[in-house]
Amino acid sequence: MQKENRSAPKAAASRDGFTSSFGVLAATLGSAVGLGNIWKFPYLTGTNGGAGFLVVYVLATLLVGLPVMISEIMLGRKAKANAYTTMKTLAPAGQPWWIIAVMGVLSSFLIMAFYSEVAAWVFAYVFKAMGSSLLTNDPKVTSDAFGSLISNPFQSLLWQWIVLVSMGCILLMGVSKGIEAATKKLMPLLFLLLIIVGIRSLMLPGASEGLKFLFQPDFSKITAAVVLTAVGLAFFKLSIGMGCMMTYGSYFRADQNIPSTALRVMCADLFVSMLAGIAIFPAVFAFGFKPAAGPSLLFITIPAVFHSMPFGHFFMVVFFVLTAVASMGAMLSLLEVPIALLSERFKMSRPAATWTTMGVLALVGTTCALSNSTLSGFKLFGMTMFDLFDFATSNIMMPLGGIGLCLFVGWIWGFERFKTELTNHGMLKNEGVLHVVFWIARVVSPIAILVVMLKGLGFI
């Protein structure tokens, strides 16, 4: 019982938080849905062989993603604090579980460094789309247009800074006002537009090849590395394993149904990814693009779909605007991890914490912004900084954080407190489900992640 008292910081009452139940869902969804769905999911599905990858990814989301997400939100709401303070106060004295949070802050910088650059491409594409250069379905033309953007160091940096400054301004407006307002209004529009684009793409001649690629599994392409990539994507997609959902959980209301919120976010997130896949792959095959094009896939394929539809020019601009907004919801949540830590633990004012974070990011982010131009020859472990940060966070750091969280919840926190928190002190009748989730988190997820990591990285 003593621990229970220790875990509620005194300042909790005055913390900014989400004001309504729908706001909680929208903001959490705003964190999950982003470039991960629209850019990363399609390109990884393309480079990893299509439907087989999708099956593994869905399994990873269910078996690893959901339990970790529920656990993370639960811990954050319990402690009502940044990730570091949460782990420090909830863990028994002297045990170093806070390492998960420290690694999480590091991850948040590394992810933001490349994520802000992809967002930079999207911002730039909003303006490119307004002109006429993207009105074509010629793979060569769209590839060249993308190539000329990313190989131009000045443009790459400029757009990244525009992204970072915009994010700084939104963050200064505070949690409930800034994040909630933006995500609540624009997410539904993005869903709608993706459905329209998806339908158009499905009607293209030759679309069925794309559907086959996306839905007819060929498991011969599934290697250990592919499985690790799918698990990494599950972490990246659900914003888990590094304290992000924990930080958002700290803004959750006491009466919020955490398991059901997590499940809904997971389903909606998967749905958006599928829509993005359905918008892109039929077009890939219809117009002769390459499914394994890699990170450029979205940027070179999607203009072709818009080019072939009525009012396509207008819709293309709207599409990139909404994608930019989605990326901002995700970045807000990523940035909240270091900012909450700096302002609460190191007693910085929120503006000071925000600008410090942005300043560091402008520096670290430069290495990613220039990865396709000036610094393209600068490699560690055979990867540019852009690729390295992406690989290290999704395939190593977040899965490790996930193992840590599962072990903490399963073996230290225990089922009794797990149940108390997730039934909202007996208000919800979901105990049966909680048993299952708890045992997955306690045994199945950590072993699965560990084996996948060791095999995927070539250790066993």
Q: Which residues contact ligand TRP (rule: CB under 6 A)?
A: 31-32, 34-37, 111, 236-237, 239, 242, 244, 330, 333-334
CB of 103 to ligand TRP, least distance (A): 12
Identity of the residue, 77 or 237, whose beta carbon is nearer to ligand TRP in the bound complex: 237
Widest pairwise Cα distance in the chain: 67
Give least dist CB 220 to ligand TRP, A: 28
Helix extents (H) in 131-178: 139-150, 153-172
Cβ(193)–Cβ(271) below 8 Å: no
**Least distance (Å) between residue 203 CB and ligand TRP:** 28
* Measured CA distances, 366 to 40, 78, 338, 444 (Å): 20, 37, 19, 39
- Counting beta carbons within 10 angstroms of the beta carbon of residue 10, is it exposed (0 to 12), middle (13 to 18) or buried (19 or more)? exposed
Q: How far is the CB of 308 from ligand TRP (least distance, A)?
A: 27
Q: What residue type is 217 in one-letter code?
A: P
| Smallest distance, ligand TRP to C-beta of residue 447, A | 22
Question: Which lies closer to ligand TRP via its Cβ, residue 239 or residue 445?
Answer: 239
**DSSP assignment of 209-275:** HHHHHHHS--GGG--HHHHHHHHHHHHHHHT-SSSHHHHHHTTS-TT--HHHHHHHHHHHHHHHHHH
**How far apart are CB 39 and ligand TRP at their closest, in Å?**
8
Q: Which is nearer to ligand TRP, 207 or 270 (CB)?
A: 270
- Would you say 31 or 137 has its CB closer to ligand TRP? 31
Question: Is 445:235 a contact under the CB 8 Å cutoff?
Answer: no
In this structure, what token pair is assigned to residue 389?
């940060």
With b for 16 or more beta-carbon neighbours within 10 A and e for fewer, the 58-83 pattern comes to bbbbebbbbbbbbbbbbbbbbbbbbb
> Rounded to the nearest whole angstrom, what is the least distance from the CB of residue 110 to ligand TRP in the complex?
10
Cβ-count burial 130-139 (b if 16+ within 10 Å, e if not):
eeeebeebeb
Taking the least distance from each CB to ligand TRP, the nearer of 36 and 259 is 36
The least CB distance from residue 121 to ligand TRP, in Å, is 14
Task: For ligand TRP, give the closer residue by CB, 340 or 434.
Answer: 340
Nearest-angstrom CA–CA distance, 293 and 347: 46
Q: Measured between alpha carbons, how far is 273 from 329 in angstroms, rounded to an integer?
A: 16
Nearest approach, Cβ of residue 193 and ligand TRP (Å): 17
Nearer to ligand TRP, 332 or 434 (CB): 332
Nearest distance from C-beta of residue 380 to ligand TRP, angstroms: 21
Are 159 and 323 in contact, with CB atoms under 8 Å apart? no
Q: Closer to ligand TRP at the Cβ: 32 or 100?
A: 32
Sign of CA dihedral 300, 305, 310, 316: negative
Helix boundaries (H) for 346-395: 350-369, 385-392
Q: Indicate the Cα dihedral angle 366, 387, 62, 402, nearest 10°.
A: -70
What is the spatial distance between Cα 293 and Cα 288, in angstroms, rounded to a whole number?
A: 11
Question: 403 CB contacts (<8 Å, ≥6 apart)?
Answer: 445, 446, 449, 450
CB-nearer residue toward ligand TRP: 60 or 334: 334
**Which of 15, 63, 434 is CA-nearest to residue 248?**
15
Residue 36 or 249: which CB sits closer to ligand TRP? 36
Taking the complex as a whole, how short is the minimal distance between the CB of residue 134 and ligand TRP, in angstroms?
23
Closest residue by beta carbon to ligand TRP? 36
For ligand TRP, give the closer residue by CB, 304 or 322: 322
